[in-house]
């Protein structure tokens, strides 16, 4: 699948416009990175799109959820710490969610059969 990816190099600019409108209206919500694909695929090393998106998310102070299988997320820890401190939560999450960053690691397993004893 990764061999067939197209990189939307204008994604940070598009996200910046969208989040600016939402922030202006006070419409904060959690931004999910990886609802469709891992944000730290091998192409991230070259294009650094996730890093660019995280900078925009920090600029507008949105909380973020990252779902990944990659240790490449460690590259962005300083940026993620800044987001964690600066994030503004939607009113329905204030007091219920204490973090501005949630990182979830997915783990793939191989199917196996278990023979009953």
For 60-96, the pLDDT digits (tens) are 999 999 999 999 999 999 999 999 999 999 988 888 8
Contact 59, 16 (CB under 8 A): yes
Give the β-pairing of 64-68 and 31-33.
Answer: parallel
- Higher model confidence: residue 111 or residue 105? 105
Q: Indicate the average pLDDT of the chain.
A: 91
φ and ψ at residue 17, rounded to 5 degrees: -65, -45
| Residue that wins the pLDDT comparison between 65 and 108 | 65
**Domain extents in the chain:** 7-105
Q: What is the DSSP letter of 49?
A: H
Please report, rounded to a whole number, the percentage of residues in the chain having pLDDT higher than 70. 97
Contact predicate 12/57, CB 8 Å: no
Q: What is the pTM of this model?
A: 0.86
């Amino acid at each position: 699948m990764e061999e067939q990816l197209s990189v939307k190099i204008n994604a940070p600019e598009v996200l910046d416009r969208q989040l600016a409108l939402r922030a202006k209206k006070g419409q904060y919500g959690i931004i999910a990175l990886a609802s469709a694909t891992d944000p730290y695929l091998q192409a991230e090393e070259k294009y650094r799109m996730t890093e660019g998106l995280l900078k925009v998310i920090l600029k507008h102070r949105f909380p973020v959820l990252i779902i990944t299988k990659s240790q490449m997320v460690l590259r962005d820890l300083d940026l993620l710490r800044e987001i964690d401190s600066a994030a503004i939560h939607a009113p329905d999450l204030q007091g219920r969610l204490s973090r501005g960053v949630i990182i979830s690691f997915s783990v793939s397993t191989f199917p196996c059969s278990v023979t009953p004893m």
